[in-house]
Structure 1
């Protein structure tokens, strides 16, 4: 009696101007049965590079990170999906863990999480708030997905057990410090607008104490200092993001432009 074939697997990625990073991402997904790329107006050849790698490329106007990723999942041909950003790569160890779970038919799980390791100025952060930073990215779309109404810091939820896989997802998040600062400023604005729309109010303590707590938790309590100067810079920039978020919310409450 032959064993049932393992479930087929779709990889889903959203992109915009990722020509310098998309090849490595797609190469790490070669074990998937299909790759779906949803692009939102790239002008640097991202779509062409993805198509050349065998991905099925779709175009859609961007209306939020969560909505874009949900759309990509809905376009997949298979129910088990693996979602990555273009700046992420499946390591050989993680691939082995995924293929092992797949060979078992993804038995007993609605989704899988795994650690994400962020590359920061030439080395991977291994402590602090940056690691292990476990993310749920492999799941049965019939039992979950990119739910909710928050378009920033979006995440997957599933109805059923979630298992943890060995191996890391590599995250090449920032091209430079300027790239990181610009991105976090944009995230702070989006989060402030999201909180303001839902009636959240900023207090002086949020502006003064929340950034301090974020730094203390990441740099001291979670041993971010063991990552050397990179850990210090990351913790400080992350704390500044929290400060920006609450300052922008404070201004929105007072009818000011941000």
Structure 2
């Protein structure tokens, strides 16, 4: 008699390693670590924190590895390679799993992660007291749970890096909660850093700035997020978020223009992870 279509092959469940990269995240990493307590292992790759981040991670049961920062993608892939298990759940220190997402991941683990080579889920960012639910900020789906034998943090881009897999990708219920900015000043500084890194990446690939990009790219980013994707439904927070993030696109083009004319120098700002 043939087995039922939904039968599972008996055997040990796949173990799950959580990986985090960090730099001076003592004020934010605690909730990240707490949300990963169900994982079989937590690996934290730290790039020289001086605020007690490493000690907090160790006290929470994580295995801490130190490595100089040389790019977001490279640091995250290094963390994947330090893990003991093949199934990886990769988070940043300013992120945490919602209870619903924790339940979704645990349910997939109970099934043996048999539906896909990787799993993605929505990310919801906190912005001055509320979680944004519209615009360019949401659902902002991220692939963060994957089988490293079939994928990982691949490619050359070190900023706005993405994980990819060879095989099917499934979407899980629940949100990845994100606290990206400690203050408005922090957001502005982070935007400058990201604009510089994106301009350097574009310049290295032979891309050039143009007047049309300087004028149209920031405007399109603002109106796409604020109007067409409903950012206005998030009130004042949605308006400020749309305006400030559109300015990052403007800064990127200006910095690329400066690089073309060899007028730019690196800011010397350290990595903000």
Does residue 72 of structure 2 align to residue 65 of structure 1? yes
Q: Secondary structure at the match of 1:82?
A: strand
C-alpha distance in structure 2 between counterparts of 1:192 and 1:56, whole Å:
35
Please show how residues 3-14 of structure 1 align to structure 2 within 5 Å.
3-14=10-21
- What corresponds to 2:100 in structure 1? 93
Aligned CA RMSD, in angstroms, stands at 1.0
- What corresponds to 1:119 in structure 2? 126
- What corresponds to 2:4 in structure 1? none
CA displacement at 1:51 relative to structure 2:
0.1
- What corresponds to 2:83 in structure 1? 76
CA displacement at 1:6 relative to structure 2:
1.6
Does residue 183 of structure 2 align to residue 176 of structure 1? yes
Please show how residues 103-142 of structure 1 align to structure 2 within 5 Å.
103-142=110-149
Count of residues in Structure 1 that have an aligned counterpart in Structure 2: 258
Deviations 1:69-110 (A, max 9, x none): 000000000000000000000010000100111111111300
C-alpha distance in structure 2 between counterparts of 1:54 and 1:210, whole Å:
45
Does residue 248 of structure 2 align to residue 248 of structure 1? no
- Match 1:43 to one of 50, 53, 57: 50
Unaligned stretches of 5+ residues in structure 2? 1-7, 266-273
C-alpha distance in structure 2 between counterparts of 1:87 and 1:103, whole Å:
27
C-alpha distance in structure 2 between counterparts of 1:122 and 1:5, whole Å:
43
CA displacement at 1:2 relative to structure 2:
8.5
Runs (4 or more) in structure 1 with deviation over 3 Å come to none
TM-score, normalised relative to structure 2: 0.93
- What corresponds to 1:158 in structure 2? 165
